């Protein structure tokens, strides 16, 4: 008997994703290897909905599951060791970035802890550059993580993050287009002691990559791979509460939005309150801002999502949610 997750992401899911991927491929009029940076907006118009930005062919439909599906809420203290690395990461088909990462991936691991419990982070910097790991939210100022961690050194932070909500963690050194734009960010979910309603949860972190070093992002991604969710839709069951944890870590845009087609959602800004702040189909997020979005998909089908900023959508931040 397959588990729900196996059902969503197993053989059936692969077949569904392949069929959807074929449909999406039919829309493409430019191959990613036709595109050279910088991509001018006129050139991008040839790709309907930005689908000309493709993920690396080596990444299958489950490749980002661990960065997209959060671990379940857990009682008790949490201890994590995180390593900061410098390594090449293929952020879209044919485009490899000299990345800085938490634990080798962009974004870093999804952290999750219950309000009032201690989260112990042991952060080791294996790069030749200073970095740090700063968490948002309320905690002891001595464990805020703003101090640079020199190369080859380790720092340990004990925090009891509060209040319950959704927070980014990231390297806080400047310039942000380097330290955020090369991959040093992730999500921290702080659960209330009285649990939120059970839901299918997904994490989506919007990031921007400055590939040519001009201080301006060239590609945009949800969970680190430009074009990924356009090729491999995020799958959720119908008639089930879905909770999206959406964070904006694009370093060089004053605001980005999350826009969902064909369905509306409750907005819990920063996830810190239990009653919705709004009900909409688009939510604006300033840099570092985030929201929990709750919705149900009654009708099976494909629901498009993207930032409502064309530049971001056309350069890798298009995606689909498939309700099955
Ligand atoms: Cu850094």
Sorted by sequence, the CB contacts under 8 Å of residue 170 that are 6+ apart come out as: 133, 134, 179, 180, 184, 185, 186, 249, 288
Distance (angstroms) between ligand 1 centre and the Cα of 239 equals: 42
Q: What is the mean pLDDT of residues 305-322?
A: 95
pLDDT digit string, tens, across residues 227-261: 999 999 999 999 999 999 999 999 999 999 999 99
Distance CA 202, CA 86 (A): 27
What local confidence, expressed as pLDDT, does residue 176 receive?
Answer: 84
Distance (angstroms) between ligand 1 centre and the Cα of 209 equals: 14
pLDDT digit string, tens, across residues 47-106: 555 557 999 999 999 999 999 999 999 999 999 999 999 999 999 999 999 999 999 999
The domains of the chain are located at: 4-60+197-323, 73-191
Distance (angstroms) between ligand 1 centre and the Cα of 205 equals: 18
**CB atoms closer than 10 angstroms to residue 178:** 17
Distance CA 88, CA 91 (A): 9
Distance (angstroms) between ligand 1 centre and the Cα of 180 equals: 7
In which band, very low, low, confident or very high, does the pLDDT at 177 lie, cut at 50, 70 and 90? confident
pLDDT digit string, tens, across residues 106-127: 999 999 999 999 999 999 999 9
Domain range 4-60+197-323, CATH class: mainly beta
Distance (angstroms) between ligand 1 centre and the Cα of 184 equals: 6
Contact 255, 284 (CB under 8 A): yes
What local confidence, expressed as pLDDT, does residue 43 receive?
Answer: 40
In which band, very low, low, confident or very high, does the pLDDT at 215 lie, cut at 50, 70 and 90? confident
Q: Which helix (H) or strand (E) holds 181?
A: none
**Pairing outcome for strands 242-248 and 200-209:** parallel
**Pairing outcome for strands 301-306 and 119-125:** unpaired
Distance (angstroms) between ligand 1 centre and the Cα of 173 equals: 5
pTM of the predicted model as reported, rounded to 2 decimal places: 0.85
What local confidence, expressed as pLDDT, does residue 50 receive?
Answer: 52
User: Cα 174–177–179 angle (5° rounding)?
Assistant: 55
Mean pLDDT of the chain: 87
What local confidence, expressed as pLDDT, does residue 48 receive?
Answer: 55
Superfamily of domain 73-191: Cupredoxins -  blue copper proteins (2.60.40.420)
Distance (angstroms) between ligand 1 centre and the Cα of 210 equals: 14
Is the pLDDT confidence value at 2 over 70?
A: no
Same fold, 4-60+197-323 and 73-191: yes
pLDDT digit string, tens, across residues 114-173: 999 999 999 999 999 999 999 999 999 998 989 999 999 999 999 999 999 999 999 999
């Amino acid at each position: 008997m397959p588990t729900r997750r196996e059902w969503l992401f197993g053989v059936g899911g692969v077949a569904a994703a392949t069929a959807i991927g074929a449909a999406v491929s039919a829309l493409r009029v430019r191959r990613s290897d036709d595109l050279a940076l910088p991509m001018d907006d006129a050139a991008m118009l040839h790709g309907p909905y930005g689908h000309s930005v493709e993920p690396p062919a080596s990444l299958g439909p489950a490749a980002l599951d661990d960065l997209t599906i959060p671990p379940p809420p857990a009682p008790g203290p949490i201890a994590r060791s995180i390593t900061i690395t410098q390594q090449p990461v293929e952020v879209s088909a044919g485009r490899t970035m000299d990345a800085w990462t938490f634990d080798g991936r962009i974004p870093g691991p999804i952290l999750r802890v219950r309000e009032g419990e201690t989260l112990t982070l042991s952060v080791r910097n294996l790069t030749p550059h200073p970095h740090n790991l700063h968490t948002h939210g309320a905690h002891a100022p001595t464990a805020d993580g703003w101090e640079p961690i020199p190369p080859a050194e380790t720092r340990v932070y004990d925090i009891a993050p509060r209040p319950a909500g959704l927070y980014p963690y990231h390297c806080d050194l400047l310039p942000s287009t380097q330290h955020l734009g090369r991959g040093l960010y992730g999500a921290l979910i702080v659960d209330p002691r009285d649990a939120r309603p059970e839901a299918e949860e997904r994490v989506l972190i919007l990031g921007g990559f400055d590939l040519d070093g001009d201080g301006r992002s060239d590609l945009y991604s949800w969970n680190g791979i430009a074009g990924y969710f356009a090729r491999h839709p995020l799958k959720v069951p119908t008639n089930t509460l879905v909770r999206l944890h959406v964070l904006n870590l694009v370093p060089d845009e004053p605001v980005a939005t999350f826009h969902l087609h064909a369905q509306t959602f409750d907005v819990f800004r920063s996830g810190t309150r239990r009653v919705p702040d709004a009900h909409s189909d688009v939510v604006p997020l300033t840099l570092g801002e985030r929201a929990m979005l709750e919705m149900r998909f009654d009708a099976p089908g494909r629901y498009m999502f993207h930032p409502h900023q064309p530049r971001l959508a056309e350069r890798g931040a298009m995606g689909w949610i498939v309700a099955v």
